[in-house]
Each structure stands twice: as C-alpha cells, then as structure tokens.
Amino acid sequence: MPQSPTGDQGAQDPRRRIPRTDHLLALPEVVAASGSMGERVVRDVVRAAQDRARRGEIAPEDVQAAVLAALGEHSASSLRPVLNATGVIVHTNLGRAPLSAAARQALQDASGYTDVEFDLATGARARRGAGARAALLAACPAAEDALVVNNGAAALLLATTALAAGREVLWSRGELVEIGAGFRLAELVASAGAQVREVGTTNRTHAADYRDALAGGTVGAVLKVHTSNYRIEGFTSEVGIAELAGIAHAHGVPLIADLGSGLLAPEPALPAEPDTATALADGADVVLTSGDKLLGGPQAGILLGRAEVIARLARHPLARAVRADKLALAALEATLAGPVPPVLAALRQDPVALRERTARLAERVGGSVVPHDGRVGGGGGAEVPLPGWALALEPGLAAPLRAGEPAVVATVRDDACLLDLRCVPGEADDTLAAAIEAARAGAVITADGKR
C-alpha cells in the first residue's frame, strides 16, 4: 500500500489544499441549495468534487467552483423536460399527455394540504375526489357515476376482480391485447382470480360464440376491449357493444368495455375511434378509459357507468389499493373543466397553419419543409395518419438535439432529421430554433433559448 506523505513531502501534497467539507457546506450558494435539494444530496455533491481533486482530476483550487457548477446543474428530479418533435401525440416514452396550464396550476395548488376528502363547510369527512367525479359526469352525461383509480390497468384489474373473481370473463380472441414491455391484459385479469375464457378466433368472433359460452352459467362478466394499438383487416367479424350488451344482459351478466384511449365523446378528427358516451348509450355497464391519453390529463384509470356497478366497484377492498392520489384528482378535474388540453390541440392541428409555421422555422435555421404524417400514438387511432409537415435537417443533428438543454426529440428517416412541430408549443419556436443552432455549433443553451 502507498504510504502517506510525511515531512516536507506532506506539506507539499496538493491534497492538503482541498477545501474542508464544513467550509464548502457553509458557502451561501450551498446553503441555499440545501433548502431545495436536501442536505444528503448536497453533501454527496461536495464529496464527489473533493474525490475528483484527490484523484488529480481537478486542482484543489477548483473544488469550490466544481461544487457550485454541479449544484447549478443538479435537480431534485432526474426527469428532464423534452420538446416532442416526433409528431407522435401520446408518446409513451415521453410521458404520454402533456398537461394543460390549468392542470399544472391545479397540481401546484394541491401539492400541500387540501380538502381532497374533507367538507370545509361541515368539518366532516367527504367523498374523496368529489370535484373530479363531478367534472367527469358533466363531461359525460351518459354515465350515472364515476370512479377514478391510478391507471388504466388498475381500472381493468378492479372491474374484473369485483365483478368476476372466481368466475369466467368472456373475451374475444381477437382482442387479447399486449401493450408495451410485453404487458398482456389477459395475464392481468387472470391475476385477479378470474378465468379468461376466449371466444371466437383471431379474425372472426360472432354473437353465437358469446351465447354458447354464456349458456353454462359460469361467466361473471363479458369484456369488450378496444384494440387501440393495432388493427385486424380483411376477412374479419366482431360483435359490437350494442349487440353484445343485449346478449350479456339476457344472461344477467355485466358488460365491461375497456376503451383505453380516453375519448369521452365522439372526436371528429378520429371518427372511427370508440368513445365512452356512445359505449354507455349502447348498453355497456361500465366503461374503462385512461386519463393520460386522448383525454389529455394525468395518469389515471377512469371508470364510468351504471350507479349500481360503480358503487360495487368502489366498495371492493381493492379500490383502496388502486385509488388515485390528490395530485391526479386535481389535474384531472382541471383538465376536464379547463380549456382544450395540448393533446387535443395537437390532434386538431390545421395542416396549412402547421406548414406555414414550419416554413418560418426553415427560414431561420435552414432545411426543407417536407410532408410528414403525425400519429396519435399509444392513446388510440391505430394506423390513422394525421397529415402534416416537418422540417428536414441533416441527420447528424438528432443526437446533439437530444443532448441539448432543453432536449429535443426528433425522428430520423430517409437520411434526414425530421422535426414535426405538431406537439411543440408555438411559444417554444424561439427555443427550438436556438436549440438547432446550438446543436450545429456544439453549444449549450438555456431553457429560454439563450446561449
């Protein structure tokens, strides 16, 4: 082992000039950082800078500057804001739906103590999330009652557990959906103690398939799942909700419709996409949908339907385990009661206006304007193109754009870096232009677009 320096050698050891921990922690900038990051995180930053000096990576005199620089770059969260220039609206890898300004304000307002389950007028306990429930019922009058849980998978788990545990769930073989990361809905339902009973074939399922399976009296619920991430075309057949509801109700069995995509009412931009109001009018007993897809709100599982069914679900012990927190409830209510959320604004973009905006950006930074179809993404509208435009730049810009501040995520295709402005807020155009220039120059820019 190397011996510690002694005598004159020890006095000249540069490691002796490394600032002490207590000195660094007492710096005003470090004290201020401790208030937002926590003392443990700040101490780790200080120790990391000292260790760099001990290893000879930086001079001892540079330790203080290294600490301050690291604290300036450090955030309490590792998540980084991103400009989504892919043209995919509900981009699962980028956090799905971006929240509206109203929803972000609601999150901030609800971050402290709040009356989420308290009646301020009487001082008594109140129904949890009453405001979000009222907003849902106002947005979807076809529903008698509503329940909010923490995500779409939780909604399906609760519905099948409460209505069909220990019994069979009838499910068309063509609707056995697998979503991202190999997650299969049928395995989720089976984990709840219900037995998945497949009916029909991959491409064709008929009413008789359901009637024959229901005749045995072992079915707890019939499940209709919207295949939001794929389409089956050609020689196909399926049973619609209206017909399926009649079959299920004739046997005294509830019909669960898992639409997933988040539309509460018909959307002109996606005429073929199923919506909650229509599904309820057609006879579904409970409809499941997601809050962070086409609804444009926070991650949440939303259950809308008949009052008796919703009450049964709310009483089940599992409802407590999957309930939504106050932040999701606040953001959901604000999304429903506020202006058009960013997701729907992006969906309804005027291609002409999008082209003009893209052309203005091209005049500033170069490149060419090319046709580019946007997509809904994981929220629905499988394979439905959204006509639009993109700015085509040199392909080598994709990586430095992702590494910039803010990070810009583009698409590389046909030997070009494509920037689709459909999901980029209009007020961010200056920031995007600066990011492109910085990516070319290898510079770093701030979030307000300045170098």
What tens digit of pLDDT does each residue of 47-77 get?
999 999 999 999 999 999 999 988 877 776 7
Q: Given CA atoms 116, 117, 122, 123 in this order, what sign does their dihedral have?
A: negative
In 10 A of CB 119, how many CB atoms?
12
The gap from C-alpha 248 to its chain's centroid, in whole angstroms, comes to: 33
Share of residues in the chain with pLDDT > 90 (%): 82
pLDDT digits (tens, 9 = 90+) for 13-50: 888 899 999 999 999 988 888 877 888 889 999 999 99
> Is there a contact between 209 and 202 (Cβ–Cβ < 8 Å)?
no
Q: Using DSSP, how many helices (H) and how many strands (E) does the chain show?
A: 19, 15
What's the confidence (pLDDT) of residue 451? 45
Provide mean pLDDT across the span 412-420. 95
Half-sphere exposure of 172 toward its Cβ, with a 13 Å CA cutoff? 25
Cα three-residue angle 141-145-146, rounded to 5 degrees = 100
Provide mean pLDDT across the span 410-415. 94
Q: Tell me what the pLDDT averaged over the chain comes to.
A: 92
What's the confidence (pLDDT) of residue 2? 45
User: Cα-flanking dihedrals φ and ψ of residue 407, to 5°?
Assistant: -70, 140
Nearest to 260 by CA among 349, 180, 354: 180
End-to-end Cα distance, the chain: 48
Residues of the chain with CATH 3.40.640.10: 101-338
Which phi-psi region, left, alpha or beta, contains residue 414 (left: φ > 0; alpha: ψ -120 to 50)?
left
Domain 82-92+344-441 fold: Aspartate Aminotransferase, domain 1 (3.90.1150)
> Is there a contact between 299 and 151 (Cβ–Cβ < 8 Å)?
yes
- The DSSP 8-state label assigned to residue 60 in this structure reads G
What's the confidence (pLDDT) of residue 338? 95
What's the confidence (pLDDT) of residue 444? 44
What's the confidence (pLDDT) of residue 8? 52
pLDDT digits (tens, 9 = 90+) for 234-258: 999 999 999 999 999 999 999 999 9
> Is there a contact between 220 and 165 (Cβ–Cβ < 8 Å)?
yes
Give pTM, 2 decimals: 0.86
pLDDT at residue 386 tops 80: yes
Hey, what CATH class is 101-338 in? alpha beta
Encoded tokens for 327: 């932040």
pLDDT at residue 225 tops 50: yes
pLDDT at residue 121 tops 80: yes
Nearest to 210 by CA among 189, 180, 241: 241
pLDDT digits (tens, 9 = 90+) for 184-198: 999 999 998 999 999
What's the confidence (pLDDT) of residue 430? 97
pLDDT digits (tens, 9 = 90+) for 128-169: 999 999 999 999 999 999 999 999 999 999 999 999 999 999
pLDDT at residue 118 tops 60: yes
Residues of the chain with CATH 3.90.1150.180: 82-92+344-441
CA 4 to CA 185: how far, in whole Å? 62
pLDDT digits (tens, 9 = 90+) for 286-339: 999 999 999 999 999 999 999 999 999 999 999 999 999 999 999 999 999 999
Q: How confident is the model at residue 78 (pLDDT cuts 50, 70, 90)?
A: confident
Q: How confident is the model at residue 11 (pLDDT cuts 50, 70, 90)?
A: low
DSSP SS3 for 30: helix
Cα three-residue angle 427-428-434, rounded to 5 degrees = 135
Provide mean pLDDT across the span 111-126. 95
